Amino acid sequence: MPGHCLAQVSREFLQLYPAARILVADETNFVKEKRSRFLARAATANWDAVIITHSAFRFIPVPADFERAMIAEQIAACEALVIRADDGDRITRKRLEAMKEKLGEKLAALKGRRDDMVTLEEIGIDQIIVDEAQEFRKLTFATNQVNLKGVDPDGSQRAWDLFVKARYLDRKRPGRALIQASGTPITNTLGEMYTLLRYQAEDALRERGIHEFDAWASAFGDTLTELELQPSGTYKPVTRFAAFVNVADLMIIFRSVADVVRKSDLRGHLRLPCIRGGQRQLVTSSASPAFKDYQKHLAGGSLRSKPAPAGCRRATTFCSPSSPTGGTPRSTCGWSGPRAATNRRTSSTS
């Protein structure tokens, strides 16, 4: 979880489970001098939960042999796509070769790594719960559609690290190894739905033969080509991954692993600002005659301005009478209710 949420999650975890034994660590516990000591403490005691930040989580490794095997699978997938790619599509082949080269570099780096750190299994972790899971949305995948807008096959090391650890726990202890909590599971591209299903339902995708992105996109995605204005001022046809199709079948897979909470489900449990009509309401008073005369004086091109005369009142926006402020002027923008406060969200372990 993000560092600013660490104290909140720790406090609310104890509120839910008062007798739980938890170990909490921030970035200071994972500096080079203290990292081994903290992981040894986590492995030697019987903890109900170990709560750490996103940045610290990457320092808990999985066995190097397992990660090397997963990278080898990714390289094999890229090689298969290169073989199937059109000979004339030089851009796609070049992108696939570049992706394959990056994976090869990562594999070479792992060959020199020794398992001298306490691993995920040695600590005894059997489930990972991730808050603000949208920060792990950029997961690398192989595809022939590298130029398709709405698809970003280039991933981050943070997302890959979580994916490897989730698959490791899932294969060691079959079950729900990973729980992700997020208010915005899809933020930028429709391809992020594929990433979510890879995290949570990769076996279901393999059973249906759509574990590769191209097969999944052909089953559930629709492309749209339109002319779009380029920075150079010219128009160019651009193809985008624009919409989902076969939504019912897609939702069957998604809802088999996802618990979706709607706004209506939170009524009575979440305090929201009361806004009449559901919209911001502005009530503006008219300017006084003295102020209108003053405006004419300034617009007349006078080089020297004079103070506003007595009784001069400019147009002012008021809150509506139903506001708690009782119609007090509030600069040039008014709200019919208080500003919405930031709502705290707790991570769920259901």
Query: What confidence score (pLDDT) does residue 279 get?
Result: 57
Amino acid symbol at 281: Q
Q: Which of 66, 57, 49, 48 is nearest to 29 (CA)?
A: 57
Query: What confidence score (pLDDT) does residue 286 get?
Result: 58
Alpha-carbon span 200 to 190, nearest angstrom: 17
- Calculate ∠ Cα 64-31-137, nearest 5°: 60
Query: What confidence score (pLDDT) does residue 33 get?
Result: 80
Main-chain phi, psi angles of 320, to 5 degrees = -70, 155
Please report, for the chain, the start and end positions of each structural domain, with discontinuous segments joined by +.
Answer: 60-266, 275-298+309-335
The segments of the chain whose pLDDT lies below 70 read 1-4, 88, 112-116, 267-350
**Is the distance from CB of 144 to CB of 14 less than 8 angstroms?**
no
Give the list of residues 6+ apart from residue 67 with CB closer than 8 angstroms, or none. 110, 164
Give the list of residues 6+ apart from residue 8 with CB closer than 8 angstroms, or none. 344, 346
Residue 124 DSSP class = T
112, β-bridge pairs: none
Q: Quick one: CA dihedral 64, 70, 73, 79, positive or negative?
A: negative
333, β-bridge pairs: none
Structure tokens at 261: 């909470």
Q: Which of 134, 135, 154 is nearest to 143 (CA)?
A: 154
Query: What confidence score (pLDDT) does residue 251 get?
Result: 92
Query: What confidence score (pLDDT) does residue 318 get?
Result: 40
Alpha-carbon span 350 to 340, nearest angstrom: 28
Structure tokens at 129: 């719960």
Q: Using one digit for the tens of pLDDT, what is the confidence trace for 216-270? A: 999 999 988 888 888 888 898 888 888 899 999 999 999 999 988 877 777 666 6
Q: Using one digit for the tens of pLDDT, what is the confidence trace for 331-344? A: 332 222 333 333 33
**Is the distance from CB of 337 to CB of 323 less than 8 angstroms?**
yes
Query: What confidence score (pLDDT) does residue 293 get?
Result: 67
